Amino acid sequence: MIASKDLRYWRFIVILICALGFFYVGTRSKFAQSTFFNQGQSEWHSVHGNRPGSSGTTPSGLGKPPPLIGKAPGPRANATFVTLARNSDVWELARSIRMVEDRFNRRYNYDWVFLNDKPFDNTFKKVTSALVSGKTSYGLIPVEHWSFPSWIDQDKAAKTREDFARREIIYGGSAPYRHMCRFQSGFFYRQELLNQYKYYWRVEPSIDIYCDISEDPFRLMEENNKQYGFVISLYEYRETIETLWKTVKKFISNHPEHIAKDNLMDFVSDDGGENYNLCHFWSNFEIASLDFLRSQAYTDYFETLDKEGGFFYERWGDAPVHSIAAALLLNKTDLHFFENIGYRHNPFVHCPMSEQHRVDHGCTCNPAENFDWKGYSCTSRYFDRQNMVKPDGYELQM
């Protein structure tokens, strides 16, 4: 009797231990599985934009990707942010940097190069270096990169400025603006502080970044062999570049060897290269290859333009200058449209089209303000020329 009672007692203890063991292993593996699943999903999501099977918004918060916290894993590209600025730009620039850091760089810690035609003051250095999570460096632009070259007739340049000011052409009366455009066109990438880098992301004061950036745009450029990336495109003011295309044609006939075989000429010209249609990528945002700008092709191109004097005798902007180079000297597959980067530079906004993307990445832009499909944008033309499928709902934003 006593023995069988003991047996029942011990049998109960063993079953209890086994049950507790199974319960423990079960809960642990379930936890591990769900963590792994989440990681897998977020990885897929970051590469492809939308998670499999996801559609519509998730107002309850269910199915949201994990928050982007901590240092991003994986390798970095050899890349830097670059900003040209005056000391007086510091507070508007501080806003821009803060947004770039919050939405992206705090997890990646890329460096930031600041350039100025005057020495940066202590406030500028203190404020900016406190905000940037990577290394900061400050360069003084050599005077030969920010002055009238010897072949420019200064009287003629001054007359142009007066004439442009009278006609109320934007920045038409400004000499510094012209130095800035010439510098951004042909000299920023030659500054010593940029020598060590392969890719740059240009950031200006007073911009907005509207969404979390979960995929490293520099790595995207590197892994896909991209050379030039943009978010907004539009038409240039004709008065500022009257003779630019004539000069581009001169370059083409002097250097046919530099024109890429599979170029994007039909993005910038509607008649096979006879005339410029004024389309350009807005260069206040650029993620691009420094090697492209350092190439012999771009060097010869800039030299032809610079000798013509249009930076001073008209008011050639660095945006059409870069864009025409990207369209003609690169193959069309070298260009990239950063759909997922919500961005504003007054007065235009790029807001990602996918509602799921906007929800998952905490976007704060109003999709109704998206400029891409409006009449003054060239992005629709870009999609057509690249044979890209336009996103669902684009007609509603026209």
Ligand X SMILES: Nc1nc2c(ncn2[C@@H]2O[C@H](COP(=O)(O)OP(=O)(O)O)[C@@H](O)[C@H]2O)c(=O)[nH]1
Active site residues: 286
116 lies in the site for ligand X, by CB under 6 A: yes
Query: Quick one: angle between helices 244-254 and 296-308, nearest 10?
Result: 130
284 lies in the site for ligand X, by CB under 6 A: yes
128 lies in the site for ligand X, by CB under 6 A: no
Cβ atoms of residues 349 and 306 within 8 Å? no
Sign of the dihedral defined by the CA atoms of residues 189, 195, 200, 202, in that order: negative
DSSP count for the chain of H helices, then E strands = 14, 12
Nearer to ligand X, 124 or 276 (CB): 124
309 lies in the site for ligand X, by CB under 6 A: no
- Total residues at interface with ligand X (CB under 6 A): 12
Cβ atoms of residues 312 and 178 within 8 Å? yes
DSSP for residue 189: G
Nearer to ligand X, 117 or 208 (CB): 117
Which residues make beta-bridge pairs with 287? 201, 229
Say which entry of ligand X, Mg ion, none residue 194 contacts (CB below 5 to 8 A, set by partner kind).
Answer: none
The stretch near Mg ion (CB under 5 A) out of 2-10, 34-42, 282-290, 385-393 is 282-290
Which residues make beta-bridge pairs with 44? none
204 lies in the site for Mg ion, by CB under 5 A: yes
Query: Quick one: angle between helices 90-103 and 122-131, nearest 10?
Result: 10
378 lies in the site for ligand X, by CB under 6 A: no
Separation of CA 187 from chain center: 20
* DSSP states of 94-119: HHHHHHHHHHTGGGT--EEEEEESSP
Nearer to Mg ion, 222 or 318 (CB): 318
84 lies in the site for ligand X, by CB under 6 A: yes
191 lies in the site for ligand X, by CB under 6 A: no
86 lies in the site for ligand X, by CB under 6 A: yes
Nearest distance from residue 234's CB to ligand X, in Å? 12
Nearer to ligand X, 180 or 351 (CB): 180
Residues that bind Mg ion (CB under 5 A): 204, 284
Residues that bind ligand X (CB under 6 A): 83-86, 89, 116-117, 176, 180, 204-205, 284
